[in-house]
Amino acid sequence: MDRRFPFKVLEHIFSFLDVNEDRNSVSMVCKSWFETERRTRKRVFVGNCYAVSPLKVARRFPKMRSLTLKGKPHFADYNLVPDGWGGYAWPWIEAMAARRPLLEEIRLKRMVVTDECLEKIAASFRDFKSLVLTSCEGFSTDGIAAVASTCRKLRDLELRECIVDDLGGDWLTYFPETSTSLASLDFSCLDSEVKLSDLERLLSRSPNLKSLKLNRSVTLDVLASLLRRAPQLVELGTGSFSDELDPEEISKLTKALSELKQLKSLSGLWDLLPEYIPVLYSVCPRLTSLNLSYATVQMPDLIDLLSRCSKLQKLWVMDLIEDKGLKTVALCCKELRELRVFPSGADLDETDVTLTEQGLVSVSEGCQKLESVLYFCVQFTNAALVSIAKNRPNFRCFRLCVMEPFAPDYRTQQPLDEGFKAIVERCKDLRRLSVSGLLTDKAFEYIGVHAKKLRMLSIAFAGDSDLMLHHLLSGCERLKKLEIRDCPFGDTALLENAAKLETMRSLWMSSCFVSFGACKQLSQKMPRLNVEVIDEHPPKTRPDSSPVERIYIYRTVAGPRQDTPEFVWTIHKNPEVGVSRLSIR
């Protein structure tokens, strides 16, 4: 007797599932659940654009309204992936345009997006609402103009840290005079000036605009006028904050900012001058997110500002904050969940910046809700790491960048093994970890044993031998992304743990000791992995023993990709090597 739920009932139940991980699990129960789930999924996420073909994705999810894609590996952010490697958005845009014209949202990260892509988006999706490009490149302001002018229902247009061929500020004029739907606009990564009058008019007719992030070319003297036209803003990224204002202008700006009653997030603040800090006082008490990465003010001024931000949950700041400033944060910002401290290069200005491990210890003591940290520091100690771990077992993301490679604990001269051991032992929910400083294989043994929920791990200049990799691949059960640079391990660990790689999204290794022969072997052994050897200057001949510059390994059901450049080697480029020795285990 057929005991299955009627399709409609199942469909209704599944409509409550919005986490894709749950949906993935649900779709593996049985065929009818798979079918029902796929017909109801609206938001599709593809973590590696080469893991699956665009066509398959388009076919599988007929109700797709939102597509998120990621292209290049994370280390591309730090120039470790040569230009031209890949990550092209076009095949995806083309496939969706043909099959899913009702698509409303496209979010791309680290992909190559051309003006052609943007024009295709504009032309193909009549209800298109949201375009969010993060760390993308390959397009110009012409492409942006195409989207702005054609997508009548455009709600979000966000360019986050993209590299754009900036042909001028005209693109802003392409928003039709009749469009009033804009809710989020981020052009902070563009260089050129937009015309004030165009921007003012756009703001005036966009009552739904909640998030506005200006670029540095928008000068301080016009900010007040802009803000008066958008008092409903929840997120504001200012332009430059260093131009000279007369007292009247300052007073107008202060008033305009105080009118932003809903403002929760503040960023931009390029070259913030200390004398303008009082202007921000009125918004501080409401702020939950503050990005001071470009605010070049010193510690006393930062304290002045931060001591007023009692509701702050997210703080990004430069090391100019120093230990003393972080102590203030620990005292005043009790709601803090995320902290990022970036290096300012201040030592080059001959200014004394005392940011040490103590700063992070203070914050870990004072901020009970702290769960995500990115901290750049010159050197560190095991004792500090142990304290931090004791104070904050609730870390989910812990990224420490000790900037001096191989730096041991500067007090004891020991490796930082014990410190990171404390972190992984205590922080049972740790999902993301970046390690640095002097580390031996022991550190990775600890990580393998304790970091059971770890999904992403980044390692640089660490370890002693193959054991390091072996510990990680055999220990970290939930590991999905592993990226390693400049570590002395080689082939054995990689080949022994080959099966693990199919359970992961990707593995990146650069400047390690992996030989070309091992790459070939791995490719032959694991047909469902794409093993890419990326050598910027590929040698004419490659003996099996020669070490490779970079390897990028990822699981895929799409087979070998067809768009590899010259400098990417895969086994499929040498079919005579691959086919004859394919072994199926």
Partner 1 sequence: MELDLDLSLSPHTNSSKFGFCFDLNKHCATEGMLVEVVHYEKTKQTRFESMFWLDNMEEDCYVPKPCSFSLNGQPDEEDEDPLESDSTIVDDEEEDGEVVGWPPIKSCMTKYHNYRHSRNHPYHHHGRRINIPNPTATIIGLRPSSSSTSSPRSSMYVKVKMDGVAIARKVDIKLFNSYESLTNFLITMFTQYQNCDREDTSYKFTFQGKEGDWLLLGDVPWKIFAESVHRISIIRDCPCAYTRLLF
d(CA 227, CA 220): 11
Taking the complex as a whole, the smallest distance from the CB of residue 193 to partner 1 amounts, in Å, to 15
Q: Would you say 258 or 492 has its CB closer to partner 1?
A: 492
Q: Is residue 193 a contact point for partner 1 (CB under 8 A)?
A: no
Q: Is residue 307 a contact point for partner 1 (CB under 8 A)?
A: no
Q: Which of 271, 335, 365, 418: binder of partner 1 (CB under 8 A)?
A: 271
Q: Is residue 291 a contact point for partner 1 (CB under 8 A)?
A: no
d(CA 101, CA 67): 12
| Closest to 329 in 3D by CA, of 294, 357, 298, 370 | 370
CB 80 within 8 A of CB 485: yes
Q: Is residue 513 a contact point for partner 1 (CB under 8 A)?
A: yes
Taking the complex as a whole, the smallest distance from the CB of residue 39 to partner 1 amounts, in Å, to 39
* List of residues 6+ apart from 281 with CB closer than 8 A: 308
Q: Would you say 251 or 545 has its CB closer to partner 1?
A: 545
443-482: which residues touch partner 1 (CB under 8 A)?
458, 460-461, 464-465
Taking the complex as a whole, the smallest distance from the CB of residue 77 to partner 1 amounts, in Å, to 5
Q: Is residue 344 a contact point for partner 1 (CB under 8 A)?
A: yes
Q: Is residue 139 a contact point for partner 1 (CB under 8 A)?
A: no
Q: Which of 192, 225, 372, 511: binder of partner 1 (CB under 8 A)?
A: 511
Q: Is residue 75 a contact point for partner 1 (CB under 8 A)?
A: yes
Interface stretch with partner 1, choices 22-30, 227-235, 407-415, 573-581 (CB under 8 A): 407-415
| Closest to 165 in 3D by CA, of 136, 134, 141 | 141
Q: Which of 29, 102, 123, 163: binder of partner 1 (CB under 8 A)?
A: 163
Q: Is residue 309 a contact point for partner 1 (CB under 8 A)?
A: no
Torsion of CA 203, 204, 207, 208, to 10 degrees: -10
Count of other CB atoms within 10 angstroms of residue 235? 18
Q: Is 247 helix (H, G, I), strand (E, B) or coil?
A: helix
137-140 and 130-134 strand pairing: unpaired
Q: Would you say 139 or 270 has its CB closer to partner 1?
A: 270
Interface stretch with partner 1, choices 3-11, 74-82, 115-123, 274-282 (CB under 8 A): 74-82
Q: Is residue 406 a contact point for partner 1 (CB under 8 A)?
A: yes
Q: Which of 47, 393, 488, 527: binder of partner 1 (CB under 8 A)?
A: 488
Q: Is residue 403 a contact point for partner 1 (CB under 8 A)?
A: yes
Q: Is residue 368 a contact point for partner 1 (CB under 8 A)?
A: no
d(CA 532, CA 510): 12
Q: Is residue 91 a contact point for partner 1 (CB under 8 A)?
A: no
| Closest to 193 in 3D by CA, of 225, 217, 221 | 217
| Per-residue tokens: 89 | 């958005």
Helices marked H in 100-139:
115-124
Q: Which of 22, 35, 77, 502: binder of partner 1 (CB under 8 A)?
A: 77
Dihedral sign, CA of 398, 399, 404, 407?
positive
| Per-residue tokens: 126 | 């009549």
Q: Which of 410, 432, 560, 572: binder of partner 1 (CB under 8 A)?
A: 410
Q: Would you say 92 or 139 has its CB closer to partner 1?
A: 139
CB 122 within 8 A of CB 128: yes
- Helix (H) or strand (E) run with residue 163 in it: strand 163-165
Radius of gyration for the chain, computed over Cα atoms and rounded to the nearest angstrom = 26
Q: Would you say 147 or 487 has its CB closer to partner 1?
A: 487
Dihedral sign, CA of 11, 17, 20, 23?
negative
Report the amino acid identity of residue 507: L
Q: At what angle do helices 322-332 and 299-306 cross, to 10 degrees?
A: 10
Q: Give the binding-site size for partner 1 (rule: CB under 8 A).
A: 52
Q: Is residue 347 a contact point for partner 1 (CB under 8 A)?
A: yes
Interface residue list for partner 1 (CB under 8 A): 75, 77-80, 135, 161, 163, 189, 242, 270-271, 293-294, 296, 342-345, 347-350, 376, 378-379, 401, 403-407, 410-411, 415, 438, 440, 458, 460-461, 464-465, 485-486, 488, 490, 511, 513, 515, 545-547
